[in-house]
Structure 1
C-alpha cells in the first residue's frame, strides 16, 4: 500500500512538473521579472571570493534556501510520526505533506533563480509562491467542515490560473499575491474563530509578523545599505527569506495545534 507521503509527493511533483512545462513552452516569456545583480543589495565580498567559485556570487541569498528544504523535510518526518501514532488522520497528513513538500521544492526553485538569473527561473519562483498562501486557506477549510478533493483541486487551480494576471498587467503578480495573502489571513482567522484556543494565538501572530517581514524586507532590499553597509552582506532579500522560512514554520505550528485540538474534541464526543 502506497503511503500518504509518497502519494502526496507524486501529486505535488506532477503539478510542479506541469508548471515547469508551461514555462518551458514560453507561455510566460513576456512576464516582467527582476533579473541581474542590480536588483540585489548583497555584494560579493573579498572573503567569499577566495573560497567560493565566481558563479556563486550571492552566497547568503543562495545558502538561505537550504532552510526551506530542511524545514520541509523536518515537518514531513514529524507528520509521518504523528500519523503512525494516530495523532492525526490520513486526510490531515495530506495537507501537512503537501505544504512541506512544496517548501522543499520552493527552496530549490529559489536557489536556481539566484544562481542562474534566468527569466524562466524567476517566473517559476513567482508562480510557486502563490499556492503556498492558497494552501493556508485550503487547510482552514479542511479543518472547518472538510473540503474534499474537488475543493482542493478548484482552489489550487484558481491559485495557479491567477498568475495569468501577469500577462495582462505589469503588476499582475503583486495583485495576485496580495489576493492570496488576504485569502490566507481570512482562512486562518475563520478557523481560529471555530477553535479559539490560546495556544494557537502565538503562532498566528508570529506567522503574520513574518509575512509582513517577508514582503517589506524584500521591498527595501536596495535601501537598507544606505542605512548601514552590513546590509550589503546580510541583505534585505536574505532577511526576507529568513522571515519566509519562519512564516512556514509558524503556519505549520498553527495548524498542528488546531488539528490536535479538533481531534481532541472529536475523541471526547465519541466517548
Structure 2
C-alpha cells in the first residue's frame, strides 16, 4: 500500500472514530431522526436475522465497500502544476476511504434502528458531499492540507443546525449538495473537457435520483416495479453511481492539460 493511501485511511478512520465517540456522548440526542422499519417501503422479513431484516436495503451497502476498494487500488492521474502526485493520490484515497466507511455505517442504521446509528449516518453524509468541494479547491489553489482540514471541520460542525430545527439536517445537506455541484461547475468551466462534462452531468442526474427516489419511497411502493426493489433501494444505487461519477469527474480534471504548466 502506498504511504499516501495508508495516511488517507488513517485520517478517515480517526475522523470516523471521533464522530462515533461524539455521537455516543449524547450531544445529539435532541436531533430529530426517523427510526423504525415503518419509515421504509421494504417490508422486513421475520425469518431473516436482524442484520438482514430488510435484505435489499441492507445488501446494497456492500456496493459502497466495493466502490471504495476499486478506487483505492487505482493510481492517481498525472497531476498538473497546482498539485503534486502525492496530493492527487491522497485526495482520491480519502474519498475512497469515505466510501469504505459509509457502507457499514448505513448498514448499521438499517440493522440497529437506533437514534445514535441514524444520527451517525446523517452526520457522516456531510463530509462526503463536501470532499469534492475540497478537491476542486485543491485543483484551483494548490496543495493546502490545512484548507482541506478546515473545510471538513466546517462541514462537520454545520450538523449542529439539526439540534435547533427538525429540518436542520435537510437544510444543511441541501447546502452541501448545492456547494458540491456549484464548485464542480466552476472548476469544470476553468479546466474541464467534454469527458468531464459527461461525468458531471451523469453525477448530477444520479444525485437527483438519489434525492427523489429516497423521498418518494412509500409513494413509489404503490407501483409494482417498486414493491420488491423499493425507491429507497434505488436511491442507494443512485448514491453509489454519483460517488463513482464524482471520482471519474475529479480524476479526469487531475489530468487536464489546462492544469499543467506550459513548456
Residues 79 and 97 in structure 1, CA contact (< 8 A), matched pair in contact too: no
Residues 109 and 125 in structure 1, CA contact (< 8 A), matched pair in contact too: yes
Mapped to 2, the partners of 1:89 and 1:55 lie a distance apart of: 41
Q: CA deviation at 1:149?
A: 1.5
Mapped to 2, the partners of 1:235 and 1:146 lie a distance apart of: 43
Aligned partner of residue 79 in structure 1, secondary structure: coil
Q: CA deviation at 1:79?
A: 3.0
Q: CA deviation at 1:2?
A: 7.1
Instruction: Specify which of 173, 176, 179 is matched with residue 177 of structure 1.
Output: 173
**Number of aligned residue pairs:** 258
Mapped to 1, the partners of 2:15 and 2:45 lie a distance apart of: 39
Mapped to 2, the partners of 1:54 and 1:174 lie a distance apart of: 28
Q: CA deviation at 1:99?
A: 0.7
Instruction: Specify which of 234, 252, 256 is matched with residue 257 of structure 1.
Output: 252
> Which structure 1 segments of 5+ residues have no match?
none
Mapped to 2, the partners of 1:181 and 1:54 lie a distance apart of: 32
Residues 45 and 54 in structure 2, CA contact (< 8 A), matched pair in contact too: no
Residues 195 and 258 in structure 1, CA contact (< 8 A), matched pair in contact too: yes
- What's 2:43 paired with? 43
Q: Are positions 1:130 and 2:123 aligned together?
A: no
Mapped to 1, the partners of 2:30 and 2:37 lie a distance apart of: 20
- What's 2:81 paired with? none
Matches for 1:137-176 after TM superposition, within 5 Å: 137-146=133-142, 148-176=144-172
Residues 163 and 173 in structure 1, CA contact (< 8 A), matched pair in contact too: yes
Residues 25 and 206 of structure 1, relative CA distance in 2, 3 Å threshold: same
1:108-157 Cα offsets, whole Å, 9 max, x none, are 00001001111101001000100111111111111112250121111111
Mapped to 2, the partners of 1:64 and 1:241 lie a distance apart of: 7
With the length of structure 2 as denominator, give the TM-score of the two structures.
0.93
Point out the more displaced range, 191-200 or 62-71: 191-200
Mapped to 2, the partners of 1:55 and 1:96 lie a distance apart of: 31
What's the RMSD between the two structures over aligned residues?
Answer: 1.9
Mapped to 1, the partners of 2:45 and 2:146 lie a distance apart of: 51
Q: Are positions 1:188 and 2:179 aligned together?
A: no
With the length of structure 1 as denominator, give the TM-score of the two structures.
0.90
> Which structure 2 segments of 5+ residues have no match?
79-83
Matches for 1:70-219 after TM superposition, within 5 Å: 70-79=66-75, 89-146=85-142, 148-219=144-215
Mapped to 1, the partners of 2:52 and 2:150 lie a distance apart of: 40
Mapped to 1, the partners of 2:70 and 2:6 lie a distance apart of: 16
Point out the more displaced range, 52-61 or 111-120: 52-61
- What's 2:27 paired with? 27
1:210-258 Cα offsets, whole Å, 9 max, x none, are 0001111000001111122x42320111000000000000000001111
